[in-house]
Amino acid sequence: MLVPEQIREFRARLLAWFDIHKRDLPWRRTRDPYAIWVSEIMLQQTRVAAVLDHYTRWMARFPTLEALAAAAEDEVLAAWSGLGYYRRARFLHQAVKVVAAEHHGNVPRTAAELRKLPGIGAYTSAAIASIAFGEPAAVVDGNVERVLLRQIGGGEPGSDFNAAKGARKGEVVLRSDDIQNLATELLEPARAGDYNQAMMELGATVCLPRNPMCLQCPVQGPCRTRGEHPTTARKPPISVDIGYALFKRQKGDADEFLLTQRDAGATVMPGMWELPLLESWPTDEKPLLTLRHAIMQTNYRVKVVDRSQTATRSKHLATAGVEGRWFDRNDLRGLPLTGLARKILLRLGVLLPARDSDS
């Protein structure tokens, strides 16, 4: 573990580096706790580059906590579409309603109070409380965990770090509580928000999972690893073939497209809209579109075929018995579409890419 002099030097070097090298991100230009909260939810399990445009459009559409609380869930999910992990959007929507109703629209100022809201755990509560309000609460996400483990020569990141299997030679074995305690010990309480962001920034841009840039690291001095630590090989992704049908009809001067809605009780993306699913992989006809789509550890090989001349109640529809609905292009833009449905409709030119000015 680090001694007090090393801790002081660690804090000073890290914050000096952050002051010079931090990325210019829109949520770093405000102290609005609602805006910071939105950014932290969006950044969960999503890369910064993928969040930037979504964040800008979201804040244009829901500029205040009250605006989001007053919105319908379908509107919220439509604005979130493309970020994935839609439970985050639902929990955020539920939580701002609680804040609007029970806290007079004022975001709770402490991590302990924030954790009482739907969808907010230890990491998110500490991030919001420290960045927006300066509370000395240390964050631990995957990036921070990796930095800390490398600093002390610990094992690979993960729950309890397989302590039961024994440590490698010279390796420190830590459990989750130990990691949190270490993060708290290193935290600079006078600049808690900046320190937490600096730790996350270091892990995201320098102390990378593969090929870390140790020569650029401001805290390489006390680091006991200086490079990659051994990691467990990930399970290879599985591949799945899947087919969808495009049903198109003309109504007046407008084209309409048939979509089906996932059941409200579905485990994955409940209530979201998508193209009708085919019962089997279409092998005997030329597809309108082929593409690949990855969700977690599954790689989907997708074919989309034109069934516009086929009756809506076709036997080809795996969703037979579930009512579909026809939508024109303007309606589609406001629907909570699955990420794959949005990708398909964009590739086919049915949807146009969203603009930053869209609200």
Give me the catalytic one of 40, 145, 188, 201.
40
Superfamily of chain region 238-347:
Nucleoside Triphosphate Pyrophosphohydrolase (3.90.79.10)
Residue pLDDT, tens place only, 66-105: 999 999 999 999 999 888 889 999 999 999 999 999 999 9
Hey, which bits of 134-175 come out as E strands?
Answer: none
Q: Tell me, what amino acid is at 60?
A: A
pLDDT for 162 beyond 60: no
The CATH number given to 4-216 is 1.10.340.30
In angstroms, the CA 334 to CA 325 distance is 14
In angstroms, the CA 344 to CA 353 distance is 12
Domain boundaries for CATH 1.10.340.30 within the chain = 4-216
Confidence band of 253 (pLDDT split at 50, 70, 90)? confident
Angle (deg, nearest 10), helices 176-186 and 142-152: 80
Q: What is the pLDDT of residue 229?
A: 66
Q: Is 75 known to be catalytic?
A: no
Angle (deg, nearest 10), helices 33-43 and 122-133: 150
Domain boundaries for CATH 3.90.79.10 within the chain = 238-347
Which is higher by pLDDT, 358 or 126?
Answer: 126
Task: Return the SS3 of 325.
Answer: strand
Q: Is 289 exposed, middle or buried (0-12, 13-18, 19+ CB in 10 A)?
A: middle
- Confirm if 135 and 192 have CB atoms less than 8 A apart: yes
In angstroms, the CA 192 to CA 145 distance is 17
Confidence band of 231 (pLDDT split at 50, 70, 90)? low
CA distances from 95 to 102, 105, 108, 119, 124 (A): 10, 11, 11, 7, 13
pTM score of the predicted model: 0.79
Q: What is the pLDDT of residue 1?
A: 62
